[in-house]
Structure 1
Amino acid sequence: MQSVCVIGGSRYFGKLLVERLLTAGHRVTVINRGSVPPPAGVDHLVVDRNDEAALTAALGTRAFDVVVDQVCYTPVQAAVSARAFAGRTRRYVMTSTIEVYDPATAALPSVPPGTPVPEESVDPAVWPVSPDLPWHDDAYLEAHYAEGKRQAEAVFARAGGFAFAAVRSAHVLGGGAREFTGRLAHYTGRVTRGEAIAVHAEALPTVFIQHEELADLLVWAAAADFTGPVNACSDGPLDAHDLAAAVAAQAGREAVRRTVPVGEEASPFSFDRHYAMSNARAKALGFSFSRTADWLPGAVAEALALPGAPTD
C-alpha cells in the first residue's frame, strides 16, 4: 500500500485512476479546486494548484510515496509543484501527451512516416524552458498546448528532490459520457446524420489508447521505478479513414468523406504529418498493451448510445 496524491482526478480517466488506486488499497489524496468531490475514502484538499502559498499551506505536513499530476500544462505550474512537493514525495508522475511530438509545433528530429516515434525524440532534460511567456493567458495556452507540456516536463526533469516520470498519452477514447472532448462524437454524429467527415487525402496514422487502459497504466507507473518519459498507446495505429470506417460499421451507415488539402484543418485525428508513437519502452518495462481494434468497437458503441445521439 502506498500514499498517493493525485492532482486533478475529477473527470474522465483521472477519475477512474482515483477509483483504481482506492480499489488497489492505496491511501489517496486528491487536490483540486473542489468542483467535483472525490469518492468516499479519499482525503480531499480543495486548493488552486497555481497558488503556491495556498498549496503549501494546504499540504501542511503531509508527505506521499507518489504524486500523479493530471493537470499540469505549463512550466510555471510545474515549477510551483516542484517547489511545493520537494521533500514530500519520492516519485512524481506527470500525465503528458502525444502532442509533444507534433512537428507542427516545434523543430523536432525528422522521423520517416511509418516509423513509430520514440521517447528520445523529445528529451525533457535538455528542452529549453521559457517561464516568462504568457502561460497565464488561456488563448495563448490553448495555442501552445504541446509546448506547454514539453516545458512542464523539462522543469520536473531538472527539479531534483524526487524521481520524475512523464506518461505521454496517445489520443484517449472510450468512456461514453465520461469522454468530454467530443472528438469521437464528431465521427459518430456525422456518420449517423449522413454528413461529410473532412479528412486529408493522405491522412497519416496516429495512435490511441482506451481510457481504462490509460488509468491502469498510470497506476502501474505510480508503483514502478523508471524515470523519464514513457509513451502510452495501444497496439495498432489508425488513420482518420480507418476511424470513420469503424464508426460506419458499428452504426450500420456509410461514411461520407470530404477531402481537404495538406495544411487545411480537418476532422479530429486526421493528420497531414507523422508523429505516431512507439510503445516499445513501456513494453520493455513490463506493461502489456491491448490492441486498438479490440476495444474500438466498444468505444464507438458507447458514443452512439449517448443521449442526443442521432437514431433512425
Structure 2
Amino acid sequence: MEKVRNVLVIGGNRYVGKRLIAQLRDAGHRVTVLNRGSAPPPAGVEHLVADRDNERSLTEALGSRVFDAVVDQVCYTPRQAALARRVLTGRTGRYVMTSTVEVYEYEDSPALVREEAVVPSTVSVDLELPWDDPAFREAHYGEGKRQAEAVLAADGPAFPYTAVRVAHVLGGDDDFTGRLAHYAERIRTGEPIAVPVVNRPATYIHVEEIAGFLAWAAGEEFTGPVNAASHGTLSTEELCAAVAAHVTDGRAVFRPVEVGEVSPFSFRRSYGMDNTRATRLGHTFGDARQWLPRAVAETLGKAG
C-alpha cells in the first residue's frame, strides 16, 4: 500500500467501508470520503458531500482534486459505472470497484469459480433498464454489478480499474444484515432451519479482511476482476455449529425443503470462489474456519 498516498472512497458510511477508511488513514494515507452526508466519516479524513448519481453534483464536489486511487463502495449499476468513468477519467490513476460473488449467479459448478467464468468485456449492457428503481436494483443485484463491470472494461487501458468480487462477509459488531442472528434465534428456540435438499457450501471473508484487501488493491497495479475470499468453504451446518457453540448447548435442527424460501447462507448452487489470482498477486488470505468463531462472537455478543 506504500505507493498510494491520496485515496478517495465513495460511500463508506458503514460496515466494510468505515473499516477501509480507518485502515487507509491509520496506514498514513490521505483519505477523502465522498457521500451524501448521512453520516460523518471518522476523524482525520476529508469529507465531501455529493450525490454520486448526479454528475454535476459529483463534479462540483470533486473540484480540481486528483487521486492516486478511488475505491467505489456504492457502484451497483451500469449507469453508476458510466458516470464514475466519465467523471473520474483523468482524476485518478486507479479505480477499484467493490463487486460481488453474485456476478457468478448463473454459474453452477462444485468447483471453486475463477474470474474467467465471467469476462466483463463479453457481458451485454442495457442502460435503459429501470436501474434507478430500488426494488428492481435489489432484485437484479448480481446483474447490476456484472453490467457495471462491463462498462468499466469497455475503455480498456484508458481507465485502469479492478473489480473486487467479494465473498459473503461475516464478523463485526455492526453487521446490519441479521443473518447470523437468524440462526441464533432459531437455535435458542429450537425452531427448524430451512435448507435446500442439496445444500451447497460457499466461500466467506471476515469484514476486517475484506477492508484490508480493498486497501491493498488500491495500491497495486493489476487490472480486471479479482476474487476476494478467505481460504476454505463453509456449509450452513458449520455456520450453525459455530453459532450453537456460542449461544447455547443445543444444536441446530434442519428442515430440508424442495422449493420456497430457505435460511440465509443456504444455497441451492455453489457460491465458492477461487482466490488463486489474488494470492499469486501477493495477497495473503486467512482461513475461514479459523476466524469463524471470532466472527460469531463479534456479531452476536455475549452468549445466551
TM-score normalised by L of structure 2: 0.95
Taking the aligned partners of 2:143 and 2:233, their CA distance within structure 1 comes to 24
The equivalent residue for 2:103 is 100
Taking the aligned partners of 1:90 and 1:23, their CA distance within structure 2 comes to 22
Out of 247, 255, 258, the position equivalent to 2:255 is 258
CA contact (8 A) 1:117 1:278 kept: yes
Taking the aligned partners of 2:63 and 2:14, their CA distance within structure 1 comes to 26
Tell me how many residue pairs correspond in the alignment: 299
The equivalent residue for 1:128 is 124
Residue 85 of structure 1 and its aligned partner are, at CA, apart by: 0.4
Single out whichever of 265-274 and 83-92 deviates more from structure 2.
265-274
SS in 2 for 1:125: helix
Residue 304 of structure 1 and its aligned partner are, at CA, apart by: 2.5
SS in 2 for 1:215: helix
Within-5 A mapping of 1:67-216: 67-103=70-106, 108=107, 112-113=109-110, 115-159=111-155, 161-176=158-173, 178-216=174-212
Residue 81 of structure 1 and its aligned partner are, at CA, apart by: 0.7
CA contact (8 A) 1:199 1:241 kept: no
CA contact (8 A) 2:234 2:289 kept: no
Taking the aligned partners of 1:194 and 1:301, their CA distance within structure 2 comes to 20
CA contact (8 A) 1:208 1:292 kept: yes
Instruction: Give the ranges of 4+ consecutive aligned residues of structure 1 lying more than 6 Å apart after TM superposition.
Output: none
The answer to whether the aligner puts 1:233 opposite 2:229 as a matched pair is yes
Q: Any unmatched runs of 5+ in structure 2? A: none
Residue 274 of structure 1 and its aligned partner are, at CA, apart by: 2.0
Taking the aligned partners of 1:193 and 1:91, their CA distance within structure 2 comes to 49
SS in 1 for 2:154: helix
Indicate the percent of aligned positions where both proteins have the same amino acid: 57
What letter matches 2:95 in structure 1? Y
Taking the aligned partners of 2:185 and 2:227, their CA distance within structure 1 comes to 30
Q: Any unmatched runs of 5+ in structure 1? A: none
The equivalent residue for 1:305 is 301
The answer to whether the aligner puts 1:220 opposite 2:223 as a matched pair is no
SS in 2 for 1:224: coil
The equivalent residue for 1:295 is 291
Taking the aligned partners of 1:19 and 1:68, their CA distance within structure 2 comes to 13
Single out whichever of 59-68 and 199-208 deviates more from structure 2.
199-208
The equivalent residue for 1:269 is 265
Taking the aligned partners of 1:188 and 1:300, their CA distance within structure 2 comes to 10
